[in-house]
Structure 1
């Protein structure tokens, strides 16, 4: 389906999504993944939330990720426009937005632009301000591009070979697990379901502070890895100016992909916030 946006803003692309059914009387939950990932990263959490809360739960592939179209514009304004088109199409507003890293910034941009469409907001280990920790994330792109493995072996064997190679560059096993979410076999070769080159070229758009005017007064939770370089305590005051109702909760011993490292703690925090 082709979806037209406002002529004054970015033209939205039709996003790939998965929707779990639930009650119409409760605000639906929308998960937005981080960079180099896709909607499958939150599938277990989506199923748990749908079962425990009775809500509809939507997982989405951002542009340039998963099964969604590739596009040169990597701005948060563009990704927010994509989300607005999809939520309008599915009639899923007002909703609860839960976003990790890049997805968290998209969720924040959306809430600042369309606060009436967001019932509450969860940002997972990311700040709307200058990002100090993310530039090193882009060092993964040449490593991803250097993998050239034919699919003439089982997935488990292939993933073991690739994991051993990635260990040379990425010590954190949870980060490697996070990346494997986007690795698939296509036409006899393993490829990444992400437009990594375009993200690399447009990285400044992804690193700069959110250039969006507005204030979101709804309930907001910032879930943070303890000692996070992505959301340092020095950001808290300015974050509260944009999100006056913001709560800050740290989860110990996690790292940036805290939903992978501590899935139960992550789910408990979400359930508590939703209740």
Structure 2
């Protein structure tokens, strides 16, 4: 349980414009919406901060933790774990929505260089000298890129089931998911639960995993009464996936010497033991831990084991 002194501070740094009501009464679904705003510069990320109202002097002097979700995820996926990480470590925990995800601004630029710069700008806004970075999947790549290029800002690094030297075969399934999301149509004026059920039935034709469908459907939101949209910037994600998201940028001349932990799922193919030697060229101090009976979503499959591993690493000297 979280103590009564705990508080969750939400920072929505961007407010989307409302989508216009379609002229037809039957077509009530907007795949891309009319509220996509393009930014070529770093964006102000939406985030939630987990902190205590009565921080001790020691806690207030500790560097904060920033967490970024994976592709098609959001800060909401980390709500429970963020509270626990804050409680176990005494550190402020900040969960962000990556650009083109959740409540953060949409942008036509979707590279790890851009996503990393968003994190750097957030660190500056927080007036933090250093931070601990935690990232899952796409968020993991963002945090790795940040540590390699801005090592002076990073106290420790935690990467969850992501690989900077090899592309997982499973990652190519995202193209199928993008295509399935684009073909969803909703008629009538359904409630949100009904709309998600209707979308789920359509997605199931090509996305056979119920778990993945439920994860994707968290992005189906109501813009106005009876009008739905994907809150992720689907066109930009699809356009940049193969070249800028699935592939980690060439970083052969970069190195991060700070404490680093890679956490993999034993049932996932994203992070393999044969990759360790190449990864250690980028992260010489990296340690690797694998969670039994866990897949790519390690923190979801085995939250207790994940929490224990992460907090022990954060608390270690």
TM-score, length of structure 2 as denominator length: 0.78
Aligned-pair CA distance for 1:227: 4.3
Match of 2:193 among 134, 156, 164: 156
Taking a change above 3 Å as real, the CA distance of residues 150 and 27 of structure 1, as seen in their structure-2 partners, is farther
Aligned-pair CA distance for 1:150: 5.2
Q: Which residue of 2 aligns with 1:95?
A: 131
Question: Is 1:53 aligned to 2:89, yes or no?
Answer: yes
Question: Is 1:206 aligned to 2:240, yes or no?
Answer: no
C-alpha distance after superposition, 1:3-37 (max 9, x if no partner): xxxxxxx7311111111224322221111011111
Q: Which residue of 1 aligns with 2:214?
A: 177
Q: Which residue of 2 aligns with 1:7?
A: none
Match of 2:310 among 262, 270, 274: 270
Counterpart contact for 1:41–1:178, Cα < 8 Å:
no
Aligned-pair CA distance for 1:145: 1.6
Structure 2 portions without partners, runs of 5+: 1-12, 15-39, 53-58
C-alpha distance after superposition, 1:113-172 (max 9, x if no partner): 111211111111111123133122221011112222358344333333333433333333
Q: Which residue of 2 aligns with 1:12?
A: 42
Please give the alpha-carbon distance, in whole angstroms, between the structure 1 residues aligned to 2:248 and 2:268: 17
Counterpart contact for 2:265–2:291, Cα < 8 Å:
yes
Q: Which has the larger radius of gyration?
A: 2
Q: Which residue of 2 aligns with 1:194?
A: 232
Aligned length: 268
Please give the alpha-carbon distance, in whole angstroms, between the structure 1 residues aligned to 2:106 and 2:163: 25
Q: Which residue of 1 aligns with 2:153?
A: 117
Please give the alpha-carbon distance, in whole angstroms, between the structure 1 residues aligned to 2:229 and 2:249: 31
Aligned-pair CA distance for 1:78: 0.8
Question: Is 1:65 aligned to 2:116, yes or no?
Answer: no
TM-score, length of structure 1 as denominator length: 0.89
Counterpart contact for 1:151–1:189, Cα < 8 Å:
no
Taking a change above 3 Å as real, the CA distance of residues 93 and 43 of structure 1, as seen in their structure-2 partners, is farther
Question: Is 1:24 aligned to 2:54, yes or no?
Answer: no
Counterpart contact for 2:263–2:289, Cα < 8 Å:
yes
Counterpart contact for 1:46–1:59, Cα < 8 Å:
yes
- Shifted more, 74-83 versus 190-199: the winner is 190-199
Please give the alpha-carbon distance, in whole angstroms, between the structure 2 residues aligned to 1:64 and 1:179: 14
Taking a change above 3 Å as real, the CA distance of residues 139 and 186 of structure 1, as seen in their structure-2 partners, is same
Moved segments of 4+, more than 4 Å: none
Taking a change above 3 Å as real, the CA distance of residues 220 and 150 of structure 1, as seen in their structure-2 partners, is farther
- Give the aligned CA root-mean-square deviation in angstroms: 2.1
